[in-house]
A and B are shown apart, each in its own frame.
Chain A
């Protein structure tokens, strides 16, 4: 299916999110859409998939016919399906039920036929999904597979994928790319939205770059990486020198720690973390690294062993005790776990300061908020509600909430979904903390990020934990193998 976008404009209040975008995507192409956060990629894709409507005058032309898309259901009727960054599925339901959802018409469900279709599609793409199992047992990668199958089953001829490679393992990414290439060969048009250059370079035959709501360039494979970066940022960005800030003193030491939750058992973890050191945790989602991190914060119970923090035994203590000793935990789910929707920035900063006294000191709060907003470069005012900020600004706000002094920062996916500039900024702030003697332990599914910023790395695989690996002596390839469960004999 050929898609033509003509003069697409979209205003949100005063913000001009899409400015006169013209783009032709031929049938069966794998089209990359690149751009940093806030470049207008998501807006454009939401317009195409019916979640929002473009300003009048904008035109969407499908195989030569001009169409209007009023809702996602409309879009899928025209054959346009979108795979969201967070899969829109129903975790407590069975796969086959999810598969049937959104099927138009009919009161009665034809389960038998659905099972057959499910099996046929799964076989075609080599997905190992059990239709009788429940969605909440799946990894993010598997949920994507389910969602792709569902959209194809609903008759999608255009597949839009929004940042599909965040949160999935290298092996799952390979499989996803193979699937997308297969779809393209069947003349299904694939639109691949990403801020990761490498993914676009590996997958897409053509790419369009957005910046500040405008289409700033179109490129064809083979690409020149530098050209891409320049188009995305309007200038050349470099990552900076890797440097270790580790000192001699110990902050955290784990002695033979054992952990357990409903899904996973972890045994015999030994780790000494030095002040200023950065430890990266790699592994497929759900391999135990999240449990491990929560245990380091007192948010998950240990079933054996000792957790010592700066010489004090904190085994079995609550997060608030850890926090008082200088441990802060920043979860990945910002609006669900880290921030309070409905409260503004100033109220967050006040809460994080743990003020004594009874009555709120409004002027002091405003001053505090203005300082933090400035020093963390947050786009928003003291009275902006936290949920009205963009993802990158929420992430900076989270960092601004870290207490001082601090000895250990635990971060889950600190830069997930953020563009390179934000990533560099956030790590700059974190490294400042390391300079002051704080240690960092972080989870990331981006192996390049782990290699770039960690001193040592722990790899998790199905509850197994590797010995600490020196980041300077390993590579993406070796880590990828370990994550996939290979080469554990000598790790």
Chain B
């Protein structure tokens, strides 16, 4: 048992080395020093309290999205639409804010309402994809992709249309909300401890939901064999929809945090691509909730660390994306190799 676990670890380490090796070759062929690049990325994410706080700012939405995706993946669903669900969460949060901005209610209440609104928005957006699948026969990958485009187009429409800034509309988004409507932030940082707590609580709940509840077990049965789950008496399509609702709500929460704690307004790229990035994290951790926190943190660090690269080394910051992609590919590849080896050995 221990030996098998050590072997697994060896494979994962090999994947890590291979990923960094491949990216190093790309860097060398571009005439840059890989060591410099990795050092700068590390310093850019862990070099100071401010930088680490930025990593955590990216970590929260990523963790929320990953937590949600663990649920849909367990149900055997490829919720590519998670990106659009993040965006919808942001849109509805902004809408709730705008609704109550002048109401004179307690700002704390409005913040809570806005975040809950974002969760409902994300859940509804996900449910639409789920309904398209169960009643329209539209594969959730295609449905989700379509819904992503609709959600993004809608933000642009709102920013340049009904919600445009007084005077002139611009890509910099809607008019920022007053400070008292922000989730409380740590002094001089953009990090909200409340948002961080939300993300951590979410992943813990999802972990126990999937590991220790009858709901999670049924969900897994539906994901692993839809036909057999039905014959075992599980209302399969209802469980598919539940998983969409949960994932959508968590993705919506990610969008809500982006508005309520980070940007304080609606931006054209409000999701920062965290939906797609979350899909990568979920694949990398092979759908095991226990790994969500470290891997999401790593990915957030890569994202933030690479911001340094254009300034210091004249490299594009998309290097982090290359590294993340390489990581996922090599981990999946090594997993394939491991399975093959096991088969051969038996």
Contacts and interface: CB of A to CB of B under 8 A. Distances in A.
B228 interface: yes
B224 interface: yes
A491 interface: no
A339 B225 contact: yes
Contacts of A358: 213-215
Contacts of B215: 358
Nearest to B208: A359
Nearest to A336: B227
Given A319-B230, A320-B235, A350 B225 contact: no
Contacts of A337: 225, 227-228, 231
B234 interface: yes
Contact of B221 (A13, A319, A340): A340
Given A351-B217, A352-B233, A338 B228 contact: yes
B213 A360 contact: yes
Contacts of B27: none
A64 interface: no
B231 A351 contact: no
Interface residues of B, number: 20
B232 A352 contact: yes
Given A331-B231, A352-B232, A360 B217 contact: yes
Contacts of B217: 343, 347, 350-351, 360
Interface in A285-321: 319-320
Nearest to A331: B231
Given A351-B218, A357-B214, A359-B212, A340 B233 contact: no
Contacts of B212: 359-360
Contacts of A343: 217, 220-221, 224
A79 B139 CA distance: 44
B224 A340 contact: yes
Interface in B184-241: 212-215, 217-218, 220-221, 224-225, 227-235
B157 to A, nearest CB: 42
Contacts of B229: 340, 351
Contact of A12 (B218, B235, B346): B346
A323 B235 CA distance: 12
Contact of A320 (B218, B225, B233): B233
A323 B227 contact: no
A296 B125 CA distance: 39
A342 interface: yes
Contacts of A340: 220-221, 224-225, 228-229, 232
Interface string A153-189: 0000000000000000000000000000000000000
Nearest to B220: A343
A351 B229 CA distance: 9
A336 B212 CA distance: 26
Contacts of B234: 351
Contacts of A357: 214
Contacts of B220: 340, 342-343, 347
Interface string B121-163: 0000000000000000000000000000000000000000000
A264 B286 CA distance: 44
A13 to B, nearest CB: 6
B214 A360 contact: yes
Contacts of A348: 232
Given A357-B214, A358-B215, A359-B213, A351 B224 contact: no
Interface in A1-19: 12-13
A341 interface: yes
A90 B229 CA distance: 27
Interface of A: 12-13, 319-320, 323, 329, 331, 336-343, 347-348, 350-352, 354-355, 357-360, 401
13 contacts: A337-B228, A338-B228, A339-B225, A340-B228, A342-B225, A350-B217, A351-B229, A352-B232, A352-B233, A359-B212, A360-B212, A360-B213, A401-B232
Closest 9 CB pairs of A and B: A340-B225, A342-B224, A337-B227, A340-B224, A340-B221, A340-B228, A351-B232, A358-B213, A323-B233
